[in-house]
Amino acid sequence: MSALIIFTLLLLLMLTGMPISIALGLTVLTFLFTMTSVPIEAVALKLFTGIEKFEIMAIPFFILAGNFLTHGGVAKRMIHFASSMVGHWYGGLGLAGVLACALFAAVSGSSPATVVAIGSILLPAMVKAGFPKSFGAGVITTSGGLGILIPPSIVMVMYAVATNSSVGALFMAGVIPGLLLAGFLGFTTWFRARKYDYPRQPKADFTVRLKAFRDSVWGLLLIVVVMGGIYTGIFTPTEAAAMSAVYAFVVAVFVYKDMGLKDVPKVLLNSASMSAMLLYIITNAVMFSFIMTNEQIPQALAEWMLAQGMGPIVFLLAVNVLLLAAGNFMEPSSITLIFAPILFPMAIKLGIDPIHFGILMVVNMEVGMCHPPVGLNLYVASGITKMGITELTVAVWPWLLTMLVFLALVTYWPAMSLWLPRAMGMM
Amino acid sequence: MKWLDRLEEMFITLLIAAATLVIFAAVVHRYVSGLPLGAVQDALLKIHMNWAQELCIILFVWMAKFGAAYGVRQGIHVGVDVLVNRLAPANRRIMTIVALSAGVLFTGIVAVLGARMVWENGLAYAALTGLGMDTGSHYEGPTTPDLEWPTWAVYMAVPLGSSLMCFRFLQVLVNFIRTGDLPHHDHGHVAGLDEPEPFPVVEQKP
């Protein structure tokens, strides 16, 4: 009963358009003041201690690192590298778009920024080369989402925080699905390009490739710093994030010289405000999940589910449907923070691996970013292509369908996510 | 109010920079003090940096509370706008006012709750002792584990930050009622995209 009240209240508050963090907070307060015996002090304490975990602090550091490298110059270098490698195949520039998006998204950590950065440079070039505009828009909008699956990923840190999972293992688990999804999207691009005989670029020779690689490698090394540092045990994930922020600063200011020292305070301020927004959602989501746990809601749901005789297969299907539906209203970090604590106990009861479940959630978020009504990627893509949302939705569908096929694969083939972290002894 | 804006911006910029440097220094220190460097190593081993994590957390908590207030005037706090965007302008205006008032209400309550909490957990004791008055039933309050700072000082971030956030929500609300404008944050902003040089491609002959 209380579960119903809590969720109805949360939904009503959210629909007014108030920030999700405020909606979560007000739900908790209303519930506390009116119908529970939990002392208000216990919850007030959560306001202070909710984000006092060192693991959470990886989020501001990763955002900072990403913001230093979220720059047109970095995007251009990655596009050059990508197109020198795959530009001569069918759908050359489109394939280059998938690869450049995957690289840039992993480094910058922001899907919408990836769509804008890669899209603004590559889309005009694709149109000039003779591709239809919708083809390029479809490729960039969907590939831009790869960043939350390829580590370092902020959404994964959030999942780890919400469920007490290992950040390192999640990052490692994201590698193979990330590469595979990039491959899937690339295949769809190649297939359609071949079918409609879209133009190809001349094959780049070795020296061009080497130069393009040398230019872009500084940005890509960020991934190596993070993954290598965590895997070898030199850093904890949070330390790796801090080191990657310092590394990104050095690369942006002294190696690439895309920005001067005078631009640094601006980057710091933007990163601080973005991080503060996410940390604010986390604080309130922690209070929310505290109330939920206190009312035994996840446990009750888990028992209800077992009583219905729901097995892992049906459960995972239901989770996918639920998360895809939620993806229609909210952005990835809020969905993860609200749903992970509720769904996690059920998943554990059914013997689903926590890391596999995390990857599944992340892939769901990715699909959600690319379809209407709230897909953020779709909106920013609409901004740079001057195409309407409806028109873009049509443009996106081949790749969206590919992502859904991939989602089914991730859901029912745990080994894809779990093989690498297991082989590396991280779980 | 320009001075408050500037102060707020400078404060959170410094906090995130400081937190990054602290963790960077701690990692470098740990690594270098593991190298065989003779006297240098001995000197480094004498420095303890086990407080770095705690300081980093404190810096980020302060950054989070004040950054959230800054975010209100930047319009960075995202909500669900699917329904609101479909309403007629007049109704949408009412909804927006309701949503902003909810922000004022929540941050206001948190500021009060936070202030009470801080007062009872050591601020009262510190203030009364400082004034040479009888502390009554107030106790000294706990300290943080590594730095041994009084927790009430650390937790001041909540009432102060939330009060500022409440004030920012009020500002945005008043401004909305007067002008109908809302701050809007562009999540897809990327610097360095305005250079004229286009990406070179081979054009297809028609």
Instruction: Encode pLDDT of B19-64 as tens digits.
Output: 999 999 999 988 888 888 777 888 887 788 888 999 999 999 999 9
Concatenating the DSSP letter of every residue in A283-339 gives: HHHHHHHHHHHHTTHHHHHHHHHHHTT--HHHHHHHHHHHHHHHTTTS-HHHHHHHH
Is pLDDT of A57 > 90?
yes
Which pLDDT belongs to residue B195? Answer: 65
Give A18-58 as a DSSP string: -BHHHHHHHHHHHHHHHH--S-HHHHHHHHHHTT--GGGGH
User: Which parts of A196-205 fold into alpha helices (H)?
Assistant: none
Is the model's pLDDT at B204 over the cut of 70? no
More confident residue, A174 or B127: A174
Chain A contact present for B196, CB below 8 A: no
Of A408, A328, A419, A406, the closest CA to residue A365 belongs to A328
Q: Which of A22, A45, A263 sits opposite B106 (nearest CB)?
A: A22
Q: What is the DSSP string of B105-117?
A: HHHHHHHHHHHHH
Of the listed ranges A76-90, A283-297, B114-128, the one predicted with least confidence: B114-128
Helix (H) or strand (E) holding A319: helix A312-326
DSSP conformation class of B36: -
Q: Is the pLDDT of residue A297 over 60?
A: yes
Cα–Cα dist A412/A414, whole Å: 6
Q: Exposure of A12 by Cβ count < 10 A (0-12 exposed, 13-18 middle, 19+ buried)? A: exposed
Tell me the pLDDT band of B197, cut-offs 50, 70 and 90: low
For residue A207, give the H/E element and its range: helix A206-232
Q: What value does the mean pLDDT take over residues B63-86? A: 89
B166 touches chain A (CB under 8 A): no
Residue B205 confidence (pLDDT):
52
* pLDDT of A211 strictly over 70: yes
A207-211, A343-347, A375-379, B190-194: least confidently modelled range: B190-194
Strand partners, A22: none
User: Which residues have a Cβ under 8 Å from the Cβ of A344 and sit 6 or more positions away?
Assistant: A162, A163, A298, A354, A357
Q: Is B47 on the interface with A (CB under 8 A)?
A: no
> Is 0.85 exceeded by the ipTM?
yes
Q: Are A276 and B63 an interchain contact pair (Cβ–Cβ within 8 Å)?
A: yes
Q: Summarize the confidence of residues A70-95 as an average pLDDT.
A: 88
Going by pLDDT thresholds of 50, 70 and 90, the confidence category of residue A179 is very high
The stretch A165-185 carries a mean pLDDT of 94
Which chain B residue has the Cα nearest residue A258?
A: B192
Q: Which residue has 């893509």 as its token pair?
A: A381
Q: Are B149 and B143 in contact (CB under 8 A)?
A: yes
Quick check: bond before A152 cis, omega within 30? yes
pLDDT tens for B82-102 read 788 888 889 999 999 999 999
CA–CA gap between residue A162 and residue A10 (Å, rounded): 19
A309 to chain B, minimum CA–CA distance in Å?
Answer: 34
* Mean pLDDT within A268-293: 91
Q: Mutate which of A215, A230, A280 to disrupt the B interface (most B C-beta within 10 Å)?
A: A280
Res B4 pLDDT > 70? yes
Please tell me which residue, A98 or B134, carries the higher pLDDT value.
Answer: A98
B16 vs A121: CB contact, 8 Å cut-off?
no
Shortest Cα–Cα distance, B185 to chain A (Å): 10
Interchain CB contact of A81 with B (< 8 Å): no
Q: If you search the block for the tokens 């749903």, which residue do you land on?
A: A339
Distance from CA of B128 to the nearest CA of A (A): 23
pLDDT tens column, B135-178: 777 777 788 888 888 888 888 999 999 999 999 999 999 999 99
Pick A150 or B187 by higher pLDDT: A150
Q: Does A30 touch chain B (CB under 8 A)?
A: no
Mean pLDDT across the stretch A46-61? 85
Q: What is the pLDDT at residue B34?
A: 80
What's the confidence (pLDDT) of residue B44?
A: 80
pTM of the model: 0.92
Chain A contact set for B16 (CB, 8 A): 60, 64, 268, 271-272, 275
